[in-house]
């Protein structure tokens, strides 16, 4: 059996601790599968005295993460610090420059700096692996880079944030509104004290950025990604969606269209009887459209200590077997600058909700604006009458350009009888 593969762990939160448990509890199985022992040589965390529920006494502790990159007894640096800058970026850069493999769960780091880090890794002949950065226990990185390598990928899309999916599920099941469900999600540990990255779609957008680069052979370009989170979704929208046979999901969508790539993260309506419509709670799901495989769907737990640590270990196992692949599927210097399609040119159906005063002439004014923007109505609902008081009018619109619905909503917002910013949600007939 070959000499052991020795790990240096930076960060001992839930995922880091989960990885330690896997190494300790499955040592013999891992060795049999990898052809060599996998050992932890050194660890680094902010509080060495904290009880993490695992025995860490047999490992060397270092005071600063960068020490892991300098140690001769570390073959693989496992970065679980998080964040796109600071200690995480410094450690990954130093480790690659020192000729050490890196395994990371840090989607933000790679979304912002993945191209330069991929060039650095390949220049030094080492691996930069990140299965755990996207969709937790779903092996979507390996699937895109290896399993679907014989395909021209034309689309990758799905549910990429378990917190948002849990909240949207809970809003639908209970009828309660966003702020109430967010507080519950925080109390249950599904949402952070500062939930911005989750509910504003940033976390999921980091993941979509990496999937898009892998799928289309382009340089990661997070800054060009259109992002809308779920803050604006109300229990009213979810109720009306159900009446029309839809469920609301935060979807990441990247599609190749006429040589360009459309890339967006936003709430969408999907048919309630579709595969994505049935993905509930904290689960994730990713569709891949390929010319040979046609459509494949991968689902599973998108976060948590066990699934994410399992994904980290899958990368470590590849390295233990001597498998080092290009970071984004093809050599980094062959990654093309992305050619993005403007969201304004995207055509599709829409849900539109207007909160208005129930008075004569409102529908005529709204209809005139839709006519001027060349938008037609498929169906419309208004529950009850409430003369002179607020009511909600909901419409399902036929396919129209994104720019047209945006322009129409801007004009409607200026109508005296319209009480709030109109809410429009794309419809994805998956």
What CATH number is given to the structural domain containing 81? 3.40.50.720
Q: Same domain for 285 and 361?
A: no
Establish whether 411 is a catalytic residue: no
Largest CA distance in the chain: 83
Domain boundary (313, 342, 371) is at 342
pLDDT band at 409 (very low <50, low <70, confident <90, very high): very high
Q: How many domains does the chain have?
A: 3
Instruction: Give the predicted TM-score (pTM) of the model.
Output: 0.93
Q: Same domain for 178 and 208?
A: yes
**CB proximity list for 27: less than 8 A, separation 6 or greater:** 37, 38
The whole-angstrom separation of Cα 376 and Cα 54 is 61
Q: What is the pLDDT of residue 1?
A: 60
Burial 323-362 (b: 16+ CB within 10 A, else e): ebbbbbbbebeebeebebbeeeebebbbbbbbbbbbeeeb
Domain boundary (81, 99, 133) is at 133
Is 332:393 a contact under the CB 8 Å cutoff?
Answer: no
Residue 257, in any domain of the structure: yes
Give me the domain span that covers residue 22: 2-133
Q: Same domain for 117 and 152?
A: no
pLDDT band at 285 (very low <50, low <70, confident <90, very high): very high
pLDDT in tens, 214-245: 999 999 999 999 999 999 999 999 999 999 99
The whole-angstrom separation of Cα 1 and Cα 136 is 31
Task: Calculate the CA 391 to chain-centre distance.
Answer: 35
Is 344:402 a contact under the CB 8 Å cutoff?
Answer: yes
**Strand pairing report for 2-10 and 128-129:** unpaired
Q: Same domain for 129 and 155?
A: no
Q: Tell me, what CATH number does 383's domain have?
A: 3.30.70.260
Q: Same domain for 16 and 110?
A: yes
Q: Same domain for 271 and 373?
A: no
Residue 354, in any domain of the structure: yes
Q: What is the pLDDT of residue 165?
A: 95
User: Is pLDDT at 188 greater than 90 in this prediction?
Assistant: no
Which stretches within 145-252 are classed as H helix?
162-174, 178-188, 196-199, 202-216, 235-243
Q: Same domain for 102 and 197?
A: no
User: Is pLDDT at 119 greater than 80 in this prediction?
Assistant: yes
| pLDDT (average), residues 363-373 | 94
Q: What is the pLDDT of residue 382?
A: 87
Residue 228, in any domain of the structure: yes
Tokens 């390598």 belong to residue = 149
Domain boundary (133, 148, 174) is at 133
Residue 330, in any domain of the structure: no
Q: Same domain for 260 and 181?
A: yes
Q: Which of 21, 100, 142, 207 is catalytic?
A: 207
Residue 315, in any domain of the structure: no
């Amino acid at each position: 059996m070959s000499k052991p593969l020795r790990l240096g762990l930076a960060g001992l939160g839930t995922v880091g601790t989960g990885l330690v448990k896997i190494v300790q509890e499955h040592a013999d199985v891992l060795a049999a599968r990898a052809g060599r022992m996998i050992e932890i040589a050194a660890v680094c965390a902010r509080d060495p005295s904290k009880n993490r529920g695992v025995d860490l006494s047999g490992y060397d502790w270092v005071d600063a993460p960068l020490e892991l990159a300098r140690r001769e007894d570390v073959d693989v640096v496992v970065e679980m610090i998080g964040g796109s800058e600071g200690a995480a970026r410094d450690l990954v850069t130093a480790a690659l420059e020192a000729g050490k493999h890196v395994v990371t769960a840090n989607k933000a780091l790679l979304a912002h700096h993945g191209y330069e880090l991929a060039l650095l890794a390949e220049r030094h002949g080492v691996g930069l692996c990140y299965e755990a950065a996207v969709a937790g226990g779903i092996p979507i990185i390996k699937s895109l880079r290896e399993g679907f390598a014989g395909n021209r990928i034309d689309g990758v899309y799905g549910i990429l944030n378990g917190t948002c999916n849990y909240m949207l599920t809970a809003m639908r099941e209970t009828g309660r509104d966003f702020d109430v469900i967010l507080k519950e999600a925080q109390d249950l540990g599904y949402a952070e004290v500062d939930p911005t990255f989750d509910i504003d779609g940033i976390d999921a957008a980091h993941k979509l950025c990496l999937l898009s680069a892998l799928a289309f052979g382009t340089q990661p370009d997070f800054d060009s990604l259109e992002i809308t989170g779920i803050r604006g979704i109300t229990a009213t929208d979810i109720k009306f969606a159900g009446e029309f046979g839809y469920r609301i999901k935060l979807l990441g969508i990247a599609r190749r269209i006429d040589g360009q790539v459309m890339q967006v993260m936003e709430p969408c309506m999907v048919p309630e009887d579709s595969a994505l419509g049935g993905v509930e709670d904290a689960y994730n799901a990713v569709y891949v459209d390929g010319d040979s495989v046609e459509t494949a769907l991968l689902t599973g737990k998108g976060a948590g200590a066990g699934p994410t640590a399992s994904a980290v270990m899958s990368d470590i196992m590849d390295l233990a077997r001597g498998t080092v692949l290009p970071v984004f599927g093809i050599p980094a210097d062959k990654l093309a600058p992305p050619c993005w399609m403007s969201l304004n040119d995207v055509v599709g159906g829409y849900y539109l909700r207007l909160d208005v005063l129930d008075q004569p002439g409102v529908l005529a004014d709204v209809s005139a604006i839709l006519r001027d923007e060349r938008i037609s109505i498929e169906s419309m609902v208004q529950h009850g009458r409430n003369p002179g008081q607020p009511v909600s009018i909901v419409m399902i619109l036929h396919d129209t350009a994104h720019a047209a619905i945006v322009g129409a909503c801007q004009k409607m917002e200026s109508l005296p009888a319209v009480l709030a910013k109109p809410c429009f949600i794309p419809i994805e007939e998956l």
